[in-house]
């Protein structure tokens, strides 16, 4: 039965906002264990999970992603778009996420 990693007997107030679907018991247990790791260990775990997902991307989607990257590189090289520093881009994304959370 799905439950919140914090307390399986009570509703997890942020679960629907943070996770689009209820977690399985196995995922909740792994998350609970992962939250006990240090920041560098959690970062390594996250990186390895993302890498494992990359292996499951269908070839047609992977080819589309490569085509999109090439298109964007060409736009940059042609001067069609203006690049912004990474920190500025991340700050913008963080503001969008905070705004979306506040609205929900």
Name the residue among 34, 31, 37, 38 with its Cα closest to residue 15: 31
Q: Where are the domains of the chain?
A: 1-56, 58-104
Higher pLDDT, 83 or 9: 83
What pTM was estimated for this model as a whole?
Answer: 0.45
Rounded Cα distance between 44 and 22, Å, is 24
What digits encode the pLDDT tens for the residues 63-84?
999 999 999 999 999 999 989 9
């Amino acid at each position: 039965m799905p439950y919140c990693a914090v307390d399986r007997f009570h509703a997890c107030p942020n679960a629907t906002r943070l996770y689009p679907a209820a977690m399985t018991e196995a995922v909740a247990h792994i998350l609970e264990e992962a939250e006990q790791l240090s920041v560098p260990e959690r970062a390594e775990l996250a990186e390895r999970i993302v890498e494992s997902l990359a292996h499951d991307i269908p070839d047609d989607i992977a080819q589309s992603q490569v085509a999109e990257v090439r298109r964007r590189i060409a736009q940059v090289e042609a001067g069609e778009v203006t690049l912004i520093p990474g920190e500025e881009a991340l700050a913008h994304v963080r503001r969008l996420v905070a705004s979306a959370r506040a609205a929900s």
